[in-house]
Structure 1
């Protein structure tokens, strides 16, 4: 599992596969680059982390806290992305953040 890349993590987390094992691998990617990407768009890994089952986040507040920090950092820095990446990410991140905060 240590060889999983951003796309592998995005896919599995997006399907709620192995969250307890894979989220700890995904967070360092995002802490290095909030906009780590799989094959869709910059920030797609973060969006899937924010969409993880709410019950998992509630049962693991240390992961939830880290995800929330990453989410805020991504919003704060979104203007540093090129225009196309920012326009693609904004609605996806907003939707994921809404799911995260419910």
Structure 2
């Protein structure tokens, strides 16, 4: 059996998109490209982009959580915590409801963050909201 980390998102999902449209934006072209990259080689920024577009959520959230558990403020191209921001604000609530173990992992890693260490207002608000009883 092939390790999922060696497969691309297209392979895991069984959904090859082909080439991006000729008039595709840079973001769309990037998503097409990242869907072909082995999941194990996706970097923080790659995960931020894909999850930000709600692509591959069931496959990519566990990988993102692995990274965030080691470094809750892992940084892609924008600011410390931009991956966490994508996970908090772009992954649908239905996903967390269907995956209570991963929801617990997210809560646990968020509890390790000092809000004073977070510069981004949206991320700070997302962390604070997740700490509220009954969140997610």
TM-score normalised to the size of structure 1? Answer: 0.79
Task: Please report how far the alpha carbon of residue 96 of structure 1 lies from its aligned counterpart in structure 2 after TM superposition.
Answer: 2.5
| Structure 1 residue runs without a partner (length 5+) | none
**Contact kept? 2:107, 2:130, Cα under 8 Å:** no
Match of 1:6 in 2: 44
How many pairs are equivalent?
93
**Contact kept? 1:30, 1:70, Cα under 8 Å:** yes
| Structure 2 residue runs without a partner (length 5+) | 1-38
Partner of residue 17 from structure 1, selected from 55, 66, 69:
55
Cα 1:99/1:65, change in 2 over 3 Å: closer
Task: Please report how far the alpha carbon of residue 99 of structure 1 lies from its aligned counterpart in structure 2 after TM superposition.
Answer: 7.5
Alignment of 1:1-102 (within 5 A): 1-51=39-89, 52-74=91-113, 76=114, 78-79=115-116, 81=117, 86=118, 88-89=119-120, 91-97=121-127, 98=129, 101=135
Between the aligned partners of 2:112 and 2:92, the Cα distance in structure 1 is 21
TM-score normalised to the size of structure 2? Answer: 0.61
Aligned-pair Cα RMSD in Å: 2.0
Q: Which has the higher helix share?
A: 1
| Misfit runs of 4+, over 6 Å | none
Larger radius of gyration: 2
* Higher-RCO chain (CA-CA 8 Å, sequence separation at least 6): 1
